[in-house]
Amino acid sequence: DDLRVMAILKGRNMICNIATLPLVLLNQDRKAVSDPLFDQFDPQVANVVHLALTIEDLLFDGIAWWEVTDRHPLGRPRHVKHIDSRRVSLNPPRNGIINRLPSGIDPDAVLYVDGEPKNAYNYLRFDSPNPPFLSAARRAIKRAVLLEMAAEMYAENPAPNDYFTP
C-alpha cells in the first residue's frame, strides 16, 4: 500500500481536496442547469467522497470508472457508483471466451469487472491526461517504502544481535 508513505498520502490528500469545490453543470449558453446526477452521484455516498475516489483513481491509475445505477427515462445517467479502477479491465480474463470479429474488435463492447463481463453502456470512463503516478514513479515509491520501513525498524531500537570487542 503506497499510502503508508506520508509524502504520497499528503500529496494525494492535497490533490483530492479539489473534490470539495462546487461542481456546476453548464448548458450550451454557459448557464448553470440542475441535473439529478450532479445533485447526488450515488445516494449511498457523499459527493465529495465520490469525487475524491475518482480523482485518486485518475492520479494513481490514470483511469476512473463509474457504473450507471439509474437512468432518466430518456437514457441519461441519474445515479452512478464509483468502481475502483483496479477492478475493471478491457481485456477478458485468461480463461474467458470472447467473440471477436476478424478485425480483433469485440462487437459486444464488453468490460470485465472482477473478471465478469459487463455491458460497457452501463459504465462511464474517465481518462487522465497524465501518466499514472503508480507506474511513472514506481522506482521512487519503492525506495520511499523501503526507507519508511528502515526508519520504522530503527525507531523501534532493536537490540543488537552481536557485540564487537577490540
Question: The pTM is what?
Answer: 0.75
C-alpha cell recorded at residue 76: 441519461
Burial string for 61-81 (b: 16+ CB within 10 Å, else e) reads: bbbbbbbbeeeeeeeebbbbb
If one counts every other C-beta atom within 10 angstroms of the C-beta of residue 144, the result is: 17
User: Which band of pLDDT confidence, cut at 50, 70 and 90, is reported for residue 98?
Assistant: low
What's the CA gap between 67 and 69, in Å, rounded?
6
pLDDT band, residue 103 (cuts 50/70/90): very low
Q: What is the mean pLDDT of residues 139-154?
A: 82
Residue 100 has pLDDT above 60, yes or no: no
Q: What is the pLDDT of residue 162?
A: 65
**Residue 11's closest CA among 129, 137, 139?**
137
